[in-house]
A and B are shown apart, each in its own frame.
Chain A
Amino acid sequence: MKIVMKPIEMIAWFNNTNHPIPLRFRIESEDKTSSVVKIDKIIFKEEEKIAGNKMVIYRCEGIIDDLKRIFELKYELTTCKWFLFKI
């Protein structure tokens, strides 16, 4: 996996446990076309607080361009922003 760290638009599900659950996101590629990726499975999630900045990392599985891919998403708690971290 390579680090990309791109901000993404996200639809997530907030339940009564602690962290939100990502469902699907939209990402813009270089040619300005956007594609939607559905998250089929969250393999694991962990919280980090590097330099005091809390973020949740999700390793997920989903289908991108007809291929099953593994990628990592990051959620920054202070800004409520989602990122595609690694793919």
Chain B
Amino acid sequence: MNDRIVFHIDVNSAYLSWEAAYNLQMGSNLDLREVPSIVGGDQEKRHGIVLAKSIPAKKYGIRTGETVYSALEKCPQLIVVEPHYERYMKASKAMVDFLSDYSPNIQRYSIDEVFLDYSNGNLPYMEAAQKMKEGIKKELGFTVNIGIGPNKLLAKMASDFTKPDKIHTLFYNEIAEKMWPLPVEDLFMIGHRTKKKLNSRGIFTIGELAHLDKNYVYSWLKKPGLLIWEYANGIESSDVKSDKSKVKSIGNSTTLPFDVTTKDEALKVILGISEMVGMRLRELNMRAHVISVSLKTSEFFSYSHQKKLHIPTSSTNTIYKTASTLFEEMWDYNPLRCFSISLSSLLDEDFIQLSLFEDFNEKDILLDKSIDHIRTKFGQDSVIRSSFLYSGIDPIIGGVVAEENYPMMSSYL
């Protein structure tokens, strides 16, 4: 265990690099990476936030997550490109395929980040990293940062040092020199609020956190505190998991191009999302115990309610019924811009524990099965509920990439 070598491969401004590479392939003579440009949502549909930026755009002070509108204010000649998630899936897959020539132990951490265990590799690790980086640049047309460390945490910290197109190492003997002088918020798992807490007690660098007494940290921040204290000292021992971890929850959300003010419209949106989450749940052959609905008002205030069912369900109708009761319970008639439904406490579909207190309709299963069957065969719009006709609301709502499991970031290594 002591001489593990873990690589963390991180695509430099992923969405933007992929857009740029694709455009060059399609004959464009402008490399988006060399001019101020961003990948951002459609402002008309109010999805207008910056998803990725080029390095020249960074110089104008544009940050990921701010609105496209404010980015354009900072830099009027900024080029805005719309996101194409299916292209990103393709690029990400190609990168994983390329890397699997080097090691079978690969964990896809998110769409643009990969952990790779190179402990048993047959090349010296620096040479291997060099080859991967150059190979990806030449074959796939985008640049990556590679961090090398004895565990996943240090590898991830290392890949973040300086960008783009670089290789960094961070072994135990380098922690004091390379990681400890960094500001404490650069440490993995430390967000905005933890930073505030730490700063309030005079802790500004990772080194200062690492040198605290363990018991003191525990008495102050409890268990999460211990975790970040360990991280600050470079202690982390999770495996590079090559198999897909089990799905723990399924959710979809949508931000509408207009504010919803009537109950009728709101319920239609909820029905549309129910269709989507229900379909995804059934595709995994699972059932959900808990259904939760959250709403965001036009003033960006959000609230949510959830309910645990007696009988775990996978039926669109039950999801919709529960979600709409939850909705009616909490809605205070403020205009709404964003809806989401998520299903959790997922169970396998093998058997169901029935309950005396809830109805169970076996016909629902058959109905959903037939609808799913028709939809996979003839397309998602082949059968829709008539209530959606002329409503201006999509009959099936949500999904970054409808047919694929889009790997999202998680806070677990």
Of chain B, the residue at the smallest CB distance from A86 is B27
Is B93 within 8 A of A3, CB to CB?
Answer: no
Q: What's the minimum C-beta distance from B324 to chain A, rounded to whole angstroms?
A: 40
CB of B91 within 8 Å of the partner chain: yes
B interface residues, how many (CB within 8 angstroms): 21
Q: What's the minimum C-beta distance from B74 to chain A, rounded to whole angstroms?
A: 28
Of the residues A3, A5, A49, A55, contact of B139 by C-beta under 8 Å: A49
CB of A53 within 8 Å of the partner chain: yes
Q: In the bound complex, what is the Cα–Cα distance between A7 and B335 (angstroms)? A: 46
In chain B, positions 227-256 with a C-beta closer than 8 Å to chain A are none
Of chain A, the residue at the smallest CB distance from B95 is A52
In chain B, positions 78-116 with a C-beta closer than 8 Å to chain A are 87, 90-95
Is B27 within 8 A of A52, CB to CB?
Answer: no
Chain B residues, CB < 8 A from A48: 25, 139
Q: In the bound complex, what is the Cα–Cα distance between A51 and B28 (angstroms)? A: 15
Q: What's the minimum C-beta distance from A83 to chain B, rounded to whole angstroms?
A: 7
Chain B window 1-41, contacts with chain A (Cβ cutoff 8 Å), 1 for yes, 0 for no: 00000000000000001100110111111000000000000
Q: What's the minimum C-beta distance from A67 to chain B, rounded to whole angstroms?
A: 23
Is A5 within 8 A of B27, CB to CB?
Answer: yes
Of the residues A5, A52, A83, A85, contact of B140 by C-beta under 8 Å: A52
CB of B142 within 8 Å of the partner chain: yes
Is A51 within 8 A of B27, CB to CB?
Answer: no
CB of B141 within 8 Å of the partner chain: yes
Is B140 within 8 A of A51, CB to CB?
Answer: yes
Is B29 within 8 A of A53, CB to CB?
Answer: no
Q: Which of A5, A51, A53, A83 has the most CB of B within 10 A?
A: A51
Of chain A, the residue at the smallest CB distance from B24 is A50
Q: For chain A, give the interface size range.
A: 10 to 19
Q: In the bound complex, what is the Cα–Cα distance between A4 and B92 (angstroms)? A: 28
Is A4 within 8 A of B90, CB to CB?
Answer: no
Of the residues A3, A5, A49, A51, contact of B18 by C-beta under 8 Å: A51
Q: In the bound complex, what is the Cα–Cα distance between A4 and B141 (angstroms)? A: 20
Is B26 within 8 A of A51, CB to CB?
Answer: no
- A-side interface mostly: strand
In chain B, positions 131-145 with a C-beta closer than 8 Å to chain A are 139-142
Q: In the bound complex, what is the Cα–Cα distance between A48 and B27 (angstroms)? A: 14
Q: In the bound complex, what is the Cα–Cα distance between A22 and B277 (angstroms)? A: 45
Is A85 within 8 A of B27, CB to CB?
Answer: yes
Q: In the bound complex, what is the Cα–Cα distance between A52 and B86 (angstroms)? A: 11
Chain B residues, CB < 8 A from A51: 17-18, 21-22, 25, 87, 90-91, 94, 140-142
Of chain A, the residue at the smallest CB distance from B142 is A51
Q: What's the minimum C-beta distance from A45 to chain B, rounded to whole angstroms?
A: 16
Is B21 within 8 A of A50, CB to CB?
Answer: yes
Q: What's the minimum C-beta distance from B19 to chain A, rounded to whole angstroms?
A: 8
Chain A window 47-87, contacts with chain B (Cβ cutoff 8 Å), 1 for yes, 0 for no: 01111110100000000000000000000000000010100
Of chain A, the residue at the smallest CB distance from B27 is A5
Chain A window 1-45, contacts with chain B (Cβ cutoff 8 Å), 1 for yes, 0 for no: 001110000000000000000000000000000000000000000
Q: What's the minimum C-beta distance from B28 to chain A, rounded to whole angstroms?
A: 8
Q: In the bound complex, what is the Cα–Cα distance between A52 and B91 (angstroms)? A: 4
Chain A residues, CB < 8 A from B87: 51-53
Q: In the bound complex, what is the Cα–Cα distance between A52 and B21 (angstroms)? A: 10
Is A53 within 8 A of B25, CB to CB?
Answer: yes
Chain B window 28-65, contacts with chain A (Cβ cutoff 8 Å), 1 for yes, 0 for no: 11000000000000000000000000000000000000
Q: In the bound complex, what is the Cα–Cα distance between A40 and B28 (angstroms)? A: 28
Q: What's the minimum C-beta distance from A31 to chain B, rounded to whole angstroms?
A: 22
Chain A residues, CB < 8 A from B26: 5
Is B27 within 8 A of A53, CB to CB?
Answer: no
Is A52 within 8 A of B90, CB to CB?
Answer: yes
Is A50 within 8 A of B140, CB to CB?
Answer: yes
Q: Which of A3, A5, A50 has the most CB of B within 10 A?
A: A50
Is A49 within 8 A of B140, CB to CB?
Answer: yes
Q: In the bound complex, what is the Cα–Cα distance between A85 and B28 (angstroms)? A: 11
Instruction: Using A50-B22, A51-B17, A52-B93 as known contacts, list a sample of 6 further A-B pairs with CB atoms less than 8 Å apart, ordered by residue number in A.
Output: A3-B29, A4-B27, A48-B139, A49-B140, A50-B141, A53-B87
19 contacts between A and B (CB under 8 A): A5-B26, A5-B27, A49-B94, A49-B140, A50-B140, A50-B141, A51-B17, A51-B87, A51-B91, A51-B94, A51-B140, A52-B92, A52-B94, A52-B95, A52-B140, A53-B22, A53-B87, A53-B91, A55-B25
Closest 5 CB pairs of A and B: A5-B27, A52-B94, A50-B141, A52-B90, A51-B21
**Which residues of A does B touch, CB under 8 Å?**
3-5, 48-53, 55, 83, 85
